[in-house]
Structure 1
Amino acid sequence: MNDSLEVEADVSETIDPGECFARFLNVQKSYDGVELVVKGFNLDIQQGEFVTLLGPSGSGKTTCLMMMAGFETPTHGEILLKGEPISGLPPHKRGIGMVFQNYALFPHMTVAENLAFPLEVRHLSKAETKKKVDRALAMVRLEEFGDRRPAQLSGGQQQRVALARALVFEPELVLMDEPLGALDKNLREEMQYEIKRIHASLGVTMIYVTHDQTEALTMSDRIAVFNDGVVQQLATPEMLYEEPENAFVAYFIGENNRLQGEVVEHIGDECQVRLDSGEVVLAKAVAAGGVGARTTLSLRPERVSILLDDSHSFDNYFEGEVKEVIYLGDHLRTRLAVCGNDEFILKTPNAKGHPSLRPGQTIKVGWSSKDCRALDA
């Protein structure tokens, strides 16, 4: 899809320097003068906030981070920091800390020397430099590793050093580009909580880029979900998960069941949808369109209940055949054939007294209309 670069907006009238700490204002980016990789990006970030740019590869999220850092220049629009435009400033004059996926540590320097480098280029005294380096090492719990070189550290320790180096000169803004992508699962989870702890203790503003939804949900105050250069939804982790505004967000954030159908009636803020398999489902009308419009129903697997008898109050209840049961420790993931969908997922807690299921078994399941969202087709 090609987007004209001639569509511009007057940004001068909408700049309010005192309103937020960092701002993307009608930002566009093209590398070839034809195709826009970022399309009209607007985002206000408050001081001390942890904002994540989340999306698949090629969605434009990293380009936005690189424009804030100064490694890329907007084709149109403006980026402001503390109310001042920064698009004309080189990266080293922006006072922004940066953490990359590949750590970007100097291999010939010790850990302490790596941390001292950004202080030395700012001409701090040796005494002040040592004080700040010691404090940064303590912050990431590497006090005993100052004399080691990066090659003598584990991946997780190297990433802690990279984080400490980004924070050692006490920037007000830290940018992180897929910083945990090279770590294994356990280390990645450990570092998520470590970064969250440091953010809470310092109150520094952080902009974080990832394609990992779990990272985004775990760490962020707000998340901007990107697709095709456009923010699909900007909200808190809870809002994104519980109230996705379109089918892409529902699909990208967490697991969900998708049922296709056609709107047959609107009833207040709900609608009846006739599924392609013939069943009629009552759902919350979010972006369903009018009568006759195609829609996708989104339903989280943990919002589906097994019905042991007829004493329930669910708006929607159907029979399903158990196809597969996977034991995952704290919960069971059951795949069912329901409403013409052979990939319908049910998640149930591994709790005492919960009914055991087996492939081939026919069961009844139900869910509330408020948990089933009618979205775009």
Structure 2
Amino acid sequence: MSTIVSFKNVQKTYDGETLVVKNLNLDIRTGEFLTMLGPSGSGKTTCLMMLAGFETATHGEILLKGKPINRIPPERRNIGMVFQSYALFPHMSVAENLAFPLKVRKVPCSEAGERVKKALAMVNMQSFANRMPAQLSGGQQQRIAVARALVFEPALVLMDEPLGALDKQLREQMQYEIKRIHEESGLTVVYVTHDQGEAMTMSDRIAVFNNGIIQQLAPPSELYEQPENAFVARFIGENNELKGTVSEMHDHGCVVELPHGGSVRASAGSGIAVGSTAGISLRPERITIGEGARQCDNVFHGGVKDLIYYGDHLRIVMVVCGHDDFIVKVPNDGMNRRVRVGDGIDVGWMADGCRALR
């Protein structure tokens, strides 16, 4: 697959001292949906703004289709942009909002009209062409903002927290709509969010940022199942972390001795060695309770501290291995509903269901 965007040793500082983005090297593939994910201040939005042309790289080079764009102004980069705030012109109708970027590019009126109709059809908003933005709901305004980013047929579309202002149900609906548009159009989309659920749902690949550095770049399933470090394991999905010291290494993983006694057999991430301190990443749904736990590679006894009902599953808060916030997720079936607060119960998990990380 060809590369449409390349960041080459890109750095960014606002004060001349602190690097917000540190030596970023990233290739974005043509036609992919790549999400930049991370907490506030991690550098993800700054990277998007440098790609859009609203910020200038302090060092390094950004290439679009193999050509340097550092000194090219935003309006000449042929990049579509969708913001959280919608940024629609309030005094223009929907059709006029969509026609504006075409007018700037001097597209003939007849062709512009056809492009506006096509863009509205892509977001299922054909009947709203003559409405004013104030007459639209938040979700409808966001659809128009997406259509405006697509109407001039850009090489690339950037989306900066575009669904942040929407409620949960509408947000999930728009996730599906944006992903559908991406798949049907073949566009390259670079998406920024701090919502890991949103990133997991929509992306072909996710770049997890922290402190201006990409911690891991991988498809969603790989990030979840094989995190490269403790930050990624904590940030992607829910995670129990048990800390200890590596006592053995073998072909299938390692053994980690826990400070409160006992040991855990686990798969090993990069940099794990005998004598090193490791955090064991263990997903709550990988844990078995009761009699089934005794068939697992790792078995411990714990106490039930709290039960939270989620409909399709139960979330059990337990005291295990000296941790009083150990989370277990189990199906909401007849057997698991017999668990009560205060019960002592065995918990277990397989070695390949947990991962020792630095």
Q: Into which bin does the TM-score normalised by the smaller protein fall?
A: over 0.9
Letter in 2 for 1:221: D
Deviations 1:92-140 (A, max 9, x none): 0000000001011000111111001001111112211111111111111
Q: 2:331 pairs with 328, 341, 349, which one?
A: 349
Distance 1:291 1:310, change over 3 A: closer
Q: Aligned residues, how many?
A: 358
Q: Percent identity?
A: 63
Partner of 1:187: 170
Equivalence for 1:4? none
SS in 2 for 1:290: coil
Contact 1:54 1:61 in 2 (8 A): yes
Which residue of 2 is the match for residue 323 of structure 1? 305
In 2: Cα distance, 1:42 partner to 1:310 partner: 44
User: Which secondary structure state, in structure 1, belongs to the residue aligned with residue 340 of structure 2?
Assistant: coil
For the residue of structure 2 that corresponds to 1:342, the secondary structure is strand
In the alignment, which of 135, 145, 159 is matched to residue 176 of structure 1?
159
Q: Does 1:165 align with 2:148?
A: yes
Inter-partner Cα distance in structure 2 for 1:126 and 1:19: 34
Contact 2:4 2:66 in 1 (8 A): yes
Q: Which residue of 2 aligns with 1:207?
A: 190
Residue 52 of structure 2 is aligned to residue 75 of structure 1: no
1:229 aligns with 2:212: yes
Counterpart contact for 2:293–2:299, Cα < 8 Å = no
Mapped contact 1:26–1:42 kept (Cα < 8 A):
yes
Contact residue 288 and residue 374 of structure 1 kept, 8 A: no
Structure 1 letter corresponding to 2:99:
A
Change over 3 Å in CA distance of 1:170–1:258 after alignment to 2 = same
CA drift of 1:350 comes to 2.1
Give the equivalent residue in structure 2 for 1:306: 289
Shift of 1:57: 0.3
1:36 to 3, 10, 19: 19
Q: CA deviation at 1:307?
A: 3.1
- SS of equivalent residue, structure 1 residue 21: strand
- Post-superposition CA distance 1:62-93 (Å, at most 9, x none): 00000100111111111111111111100000
Per-residue CA deviations over 1:196-244 (Å, capped at 9, x if unaligned) read: 0000000000000000001100000000000000000000000001100
Does structure 1 residue 52 correspond to structure 2 residue 47?
A: no
1:153 to 2:136 alignment: yes
- The answer on whether the counterparts of 2:267 and 2:354 sit within 8 Å (CA) in structure 1 is yes
2:90 maps to amino acid? P
Letter in 2 for 1:331: H
Compute the displacement of 1:278 (Å): 1.2
TM-score by length of 1: 0.92
Offset, 1:291: 2.4
Structure 1: 5+ residue runs without aligned partners?
1-17
- Deviation digits for residues 151-192 of structure 1, max 9, x if unmatched? 111111111010000001111200000101111111111110
Per the alignment, in what secondary structure is the counterpart of residue 3 of structure 2?
coil
**Partner letter of residue 44 of structure 2?**
K
Counterparts of 2:117 and 2:240, CA distance in 1: 50
**Helix, strand or coil: the match of 1:308?**
helix
Q: What residue identity is the alignment partner of 2:312?
A: D
**Cα distance change, pair 225–331 in 1 and its aligned pair in 2 (3 A):** same
Aligned residue among 309, 320, 336 for 2:318: 336
Q: What is the CA-CA distance between 1:287 and the residue it aligns to? A: 3.7
1:3 is aligned to none
TM-score calculated relative to the size of structure 2 = 0.97
* Range 150-159 or range 353-362, more displaced: 353-362
Other structure's SS at 2:121 match:
helix
Q: Distance in 2 between matches of 1:205 and 1:61?
A: 17
RMSD (CA atoms)? 1.4
Cα drift, residue 39 of structure 1: 0.4
Matched AA of 2:236: I
Distance 2:157 2:301 in 1: 51
Equivalent-residue separation in structure 2 for 1:19 and 1:114 (angstroms): 33
- Matched with 2:253 is 270
> Which residue is equivalent to 1:246?
229
Does structure 1 retain, via aligned residues, the 8 Å contact 2:293–2:349? no
- Please state how far the C-alpha of 1:347 moved relative to its aligned partner: 0.7
Q: Which runs of 4+ in 1 moved over 4 A?
A: 352-355
